[in-house]
A and B are shown apart, each in its own frame.
Chain A
Amino acid sequence: MKGGYTGKILRVNLSTKEITTEDLTEKMAKFHIGARGLATRIAYDEIPCDADPSGPENKIIMATGPLSGTRVIASGKTTFVGKSPQTNGYGSSNVGGHLAEELKFAGYDAVVVEGASKKLCYLYIEDDKVEIRDAKDYKGAGCISGERKMKDDLGDDVQIAIVGPAAENSVAYSCISHDFGRQAGRAGLGTIMGNKNLKAIAIKGSKGIEVHDKKRLDKIVRQMFKDAKEHPDFKAWQLYGTTNLVSYSNHNLKSLPTRNFQSGHFENGDNIRAEVMRRKIVRHDKACGVCPMACGKYSYSKSHNICVEGPEYETIGMLGSNLGIDNIEDIAYLNYVTDELGLDTISAGNVIGHLIEAYKEGKVTDKEIGKDMKGLDWGKTKEVELLLNKIAHKRGIGKLLAKGVKRVSEVLGTQEYAMHVKGVEISAYESRRRPANKLAYGTASIGGHHNDAWAIVFDAQGGKDKAEKVIELQHLRPGFDDLGVCRLPWVELGIKPELYKDALNALTGWSMTMDEMFEIFERNANLRRAFWGKHVPGFSRNYDNVPKRWYEEEVGDKKPEEDLVTKKEYDKLLTKYYRLRGWNIHSGLPTYKKLRELGLGFVIKDLKKSREKD
């Protein structure tokens, strides 16, 4: 290949200790682009349909895209893919920071980790030198302190993906942490590492990335930076990052999750908004590779004496308003505790919110939550901290909570307000009056997450073609994951998708058009869906349902102006979505015709086999 890609995939088997490399063919690169698309393909092809997500047959694939590590704006994204321990279905999560560039500088587009180690180990990659090393010195180490220790041992120029005690203890929603506070947080990808006894992946590279047409790329990247800097929202993004959304979400969208999604408006939300946080705790900005937006905020809480990256919007929502906590220093502290333990802040906040509500409803007793807890209520930081520790170490009620909100609600009989889709806890956008966003959550490829499509502003502005919009977003947003870059410069600063296409062509020497690129994005979306069909016998449209709470009025709030989206309306929208996609309206899976159209005919035999098990 002429440029963009390194052309090499590293394969590490932790059972046999075998380490090999293989070529990434140009054909495969052109078929899925890279990063998420490529990792999804490898996961689809290689993980057997009956693989136990916690067993050695599961794999975790870490992949970069052709744009990762270049001067393309915000080119720092790595995607992890595997079979999710939370859902038994498709699991994917991405992380920024400096991991993607380092892996490419080491000479690899992707790493496939298979098998499982008997002893806790870590993977060390330094260009052509790849070793599976003993990690006993890091056993039980927190994500933040463990990364420090590892950098002290290996050097500060090593980039590290690490998991915490939560993953070592196989908590279902453990995250992969990198760069002192960035996470591939969702769908339990960290749990897969934990189950493989893989504590960390440490990478150091020395190489450069080839470019087909340097002059052309130069023009494109300068245009991107110019457009970003001239955008009216640029300064606000640098100052506040995603926390800018807190006020807008709370007051305008009414989508700030409050007390386990009972409402989308938090009466004390102004205490945890962007300006308050910047003034009270932010020390400096912290960006991912080659990103001018610097949405990461590095904070210090005086009252708790801790430093933390964040909290960002999702964490303020899930560990703040969703738990009734209105003190930004307390949220920063809980963010720190959750990061160090290696739990996903979104899932952890969702699960704890659910437990508090269940306790208040009398579904959990004082004895069950433990004597060290003085009951449970909204707005109690200390109790939340205790619960986080119980979850990560699976102590007491933590044993149950570690399984995720779906399982918790099945045990407690509280399914009606268990805020998840397909077993993945819903992230921080209350959406009961937002049809397109509801559809986006219902059909998201990993379950209750907003990464694939985020249509809440589209809803608020009265957008009409909802199913069409969700499909478009589900192609373009993951498309940025496929390219190995962050989507935010496009979402927030209007950097044109065409420029990314031009950059891809300048790097690789291809002459891909937007239409061709969208066809690949659609192919990747269909393959994500097919993963569910292959791995989950009996998969049907019921899996795309949203929680019952999202069909009911808010608790305790005044009735908002907009109408609820009823179950009937949602079902109608879902059917329309399937028809537009070329998916079966009962199974919710791609039709064979659609699969063949997209060059995914090889999937059909797996779907047929899976249907036989129904």
Chain B
Amino acid sequence: MTKGKKLENILSIKPKDNFEELCSGCGTCEAFCHAAHYDTEGKKKSAIKISGENFPVPGGYKCNVCNQCGICAKECPSDAIYKDKMIWKIDYDKCDGCSDLEFPICVDKCPTDSMHSHPDEEYPIKCDGCGECVEICPLGALEYKTKQRVVGK
């Protein structure tokens, strides 16, 4: 039945090309990311980060979110980062949070500063592509990077 039907695979979440024009810095994406993955309300355990280091001149926000490049997986000494469809995820059975180091190696090596550690969390924080941020962003500043494939060929 699905023969020839186009399906979209999410490759990653990305800020739109005109992100700087769109983002208002409200951090709603961060709040929903945090709440989707942890018991509390907050922003500090969000995998997506919005910052406004350019204020006051010229202003504008920037976004750090995982582009699923997989470098973390390559660098991980415990082979704890695996690919689920197109998204790199942490295997919490294998990950030990590099507890002997100040920062987990994956956090340290992430080329886009999109992996984070938090003092109260044993494991590093990584985007799992759930899409909460894209769906809630009130300015439509985020999107899915997708690849279309045709099933059955």
Residues of A within 8 A of B (CB): 69-71, 98, 101, 105, 144-145, 147-148, 156-157, 179-181, 205-211, 214, 217-218, 225, 228-229, 238, 283-294, 296, 298, 300, 307-308, 507
Whole-angstrom distance between the Cβ of B139 and the nearest chain A Cβ:
7
With A208-B44, A284-B20, A287-B26 as known contacts, state yes or no: A71 contacts B31, CB within 8 Å.
Answer: yes
Does B21 make an interface contact (CB < 8 A)? Answer: yes
CB-contact partner of B58 in A218, A283, A289, A291, under 8 A: A283
A214 touches B139 (CB 8 A): no
B40, B41, B55, B58 pick with most chain A CB within 10 angstroms: B41
Given the complex, which residues of A lie within 8 Å of B138, measured CB to CB? 225, 228-229, 238, 291-294
A307 touches B57 (CB 8 A): yes
- Can you list 15 A-B pairs, Cβ within 8 angstroms, ordered by A? A71-B35, A180-B52, A207-B40, A208-B39, A208-B44, A210-B41, A211-B39, A211-B40, A218-B35, A284-B22, A284-B60, A287-B25, A289-B26, A291-B24, A294-B24
0 or 1 for each of B115-149: is its CB under 8 Å from A? (1 = yes)? 00011100000000000000010110000000000
A70 touches B41 (CB 8 A): yes
Given the complex, which residues of A lie within 8 Å of B16, measured CB to CB? none
A285 touches B28 (CB 8 A): no
Given the complex, which residues of B lie within 8 Å of A217, measured CB to CB? 41
B44 touches A207 (CB 8 A): yes
Report the separation of the CA atoms of residues A229 and B28 in the bound assembly, to the nearest whole angstrom: 14
A283 touches B59 (CB 8 A): yes
Does B8 make an interface contact (CB < 8 A)? Answer: no
Given the complex, which residues of A lie within 8 Å of B120, measured CB to CB? 206-207
In chain B, residues 27-49, which have Cβ atoms closer than 8 Å to a Cβ of chain A? 27-28, 31-32, 34-35, 38-45
Given the complex, which residues of A lie within 8 Å of B22, measured CB to CB? 284
How many A-B contacts at CB < 8 Å in the complex?
Answer: 118
Report the separation of the CA atoms of residues A98 and B30 in the bound assembly, to the nearest whole angstrom: 13
Report the separation of the CA atoms of residues A218 and B32 in the bound assembly, to the nearest whole angstrom: 9
Does B81 make an interface contact (CB < 8 A)? Answer: no
Q: Which residue of B lies closest to A300 (CB)?
A: B58
Whole-angstrom distance between the Cβ of A342 and the nearest chain B Cβ:
14
With A205-B44, A207-B44 as known contacts, state yes or no: A180 contacts B55, CB within 8 Å.
Answer: yes
Report the separation of the CA atoms of residues A217 and B60 in the bound assembly, to the nearest whole angstrom: 31
CB-contact partner of B42 in A207, A293, A294, A298, under 8 A: A207
Say what secondary structure dominates the interface of chain B.
loop
Does B107 make an interface contact (CB < 8 A)? Answer: no
With A208-B40, A225-B138, A290-B26 as known contacts, state yes or no: A156 contacts B51, CB within 8 Å.
Answer: yes
B40 touches A210 (CB 8 A): yes
B41 touches A211 (CB 8 A): yes
A298 touches B59 (CB 8 A): yes
CB-contact partner of A285 in B24, B39, B51, B119, under 8 A: B24
B59 touches A284 (CB 8 A): yes
Given the complex, which residues of B lie within 8 Å of A307, measured CB to CB? 56-59
Report the separation of the CA atoms of residues A144 and B25 in the bound assembly, to the nearest whole angstrom: 17
B41 touches A292 (CB 8 A): no
A180 touches B41 (CB 8 A): no
Report the separation of the CA atoms of residues A208 and B43 in the bound assembly, to the nearest whole angstrom: 8
Given the complex, which residues of B lie within 8 Å of A287, measured CB to CB? 24-26
Whole-angstrom distance between the Cβ of A34 and the nearest chain B Cβ:
15
Report the separation of the CA atoms of residues A147 and B52 in the bound assembly, to the nearest whole angstrom: 13
Report the separation of the CA atoms of residues A207 and B21 in the bound assembly, to the nearest whole angstrom: 31
Q: Which residue of B lies closest to A76 (CB)?
A: B26
B42 touches A209 (CB 8 A): yes
- Pairs of residues from A and B, 6 with the lowest C-beta to C-beta distance, nearest first: A208-B40, A292-B138, A208-B42, A287-B26, A294-B24, A287-B24
Given the complex, which residues of A lie within 8 Å of B42, measured CB to CB? 69, 101, 105, 207-209
Number of interface residues of B (CB under 8 A): 36
Seed contacts A207-B44, A209-B40, A290-B28; 20 additional CB < 8 Å A-B pairs:
A71-B31, A98-B27, A105-B43, A144-B56, A180-B55, A205-B44, A207-B42, A208-B41, A208-B42, A210-B39, A210-B41, A211-B39, A225-B28, A285-B24, A285-B139, A290-B31, A294-B24, A298-B60, A307-B57, A307-B58
Given the complex, which residues of A lie within 8 Å of B21, measured CB to CB? 284
Report the separation of the CA atoms of residues A153 and B27 in the bound assembly, to the nearest whole angstrom: 23
Given the complex, which residues of B lie within 8 Å of A283, measured CB to CB? 58-60
CB-contact partner of B26 in A69, A180, A292, under 8 A: A292
B25 touches A286 (CB 8 A): yes
Does B87 make an interface contact (CB < 8 A)? Answer: no
Whole-angstrom distance between the Cβ of B102 and the nearest chain A Cβ:
16
Does B53 make an interface contact (CB < 8 A)? Answer: yes
Report the separation of the CA atoms of residues A156 and B54 in the bound assembly, to the nearest whole angstrom: 10
B51 touches A157 (CB 8 A): yes
Whole-angstrom distance between the Cβ of B9 and the nearest chain A Cβ:
26
Does B23 make an interface contact (CB < 8 A)? Answer: yes
Q: Which residue of B lies closest to A205 (CB)?
A: B44
Report the separation of the CA atoms of residues A289 and B56 in the bound assembly, to the nearest whole angstrom: 18
Given the complex, which residues of A lie within 8 Å of B52, measured CB to CB? 156, 180
Report the separation of the CA atoms of residues A308 and B44 in the bound assembly, to the nearest whole angstrom: 28
Whole-angstrom distance between the Cβ of B54 and the nearest chain A Cβ:
10
Report the separation of the CA atoms of residues A214 and B41 in the bound assembly, to the nearest whole angstrom: 9
Given the complex, which residues of A lie within 8 Å of B31, measured CB to CB? 70-71, 289-290
B25 touches A206 (CB 8 A): no
B44 touches A206 (CB 8 A): yes
Report the separation of the CA atoms of residues A443 and B42 in the bound assembly, to the nearest whole angstrom: 37
B24 touches A284 (CB 8 A): yes
Report the separation of the CA atoms of residues A407 and B96 in the bound assembly, to the nearest whole angstrom: 67
Report the separation of the CA atoms of residues A436 and B55 in the bound assembly, to the nearest whole angstrom: 41
B28 touches A294 (CB 8 A): no
Whole-angstrom distance between the Cβ of B121 and the nearest chain A Cβ:
10
B22, B24, B28, B136 pick with most chain A CB within 10 angstroms: B24
A284 touches B23 (CB 8 A): yes
A148 touches B56 (CB 8 A): yes
A290 touches B60 (CB 8 A): no
Given the complex, which residues of A lie within 8 Å of B56, measured CB to CB? 144-145, 147-148, 180-181, 307-308
Q: Which residue of B lies closest to A228 (CB)?
A: B138
CB-contact partner of A290 in B20, B27, B45, under 8 A: B27
Report the separation of the CA atoms of residues A126 and B133 in the bound assembly, to the nearest whole angstrom: 27
Report the separation of the CA atoms of residues A307 and B58 in the bound assembly, to the nearest whole angstrom: 7
A71 touches B41 (CB 8 A): yes
Q: Which residue of B lies closest to A291 (CB)?
A: B26
Given the complex, which residues of A lie within 8 Å of B58, measured CB to CB? 283, 300, 307
Given the complex, which residues of A lie within 8 Å of B59, measured CB to CB? 180, 283-284, 286, 298, 300, 307
Q: Which residue of B lies closest to A225 (CB)?
A: B136
Report the separation of the CA atoms of residues A209 and B22 in the bound assembly, to the nearest whole angstrom: 28
Q: Which residue of A lies closest to B18 (CB)?
A: A284
Given the complex, which residues of B lie within 8 Å of A180, measured CB to CB? 52, 55-56, 59
Given the complex, which residues of B lie within 8 Å of A284, measured CB to CB? 20-24, 59-60
Report the separation of the CA atoms of residues A105 and B25 in the bound assembly, to the nearest whole angstrom: 18
Report the separation of the CA atoms of residues A179 and B53 in the bound assembly, to the nearest whole angstrom: 11
Given the complex, which residues of B lie within 8 Å of A181, measured CB to CB? 56
Report the separation of the CA atoms of residues A292 and B141 in the bound assembly, to the nearest whole angstrom: 12
Q: Which residue of A lies closest to B45 (CB)?
A: A208
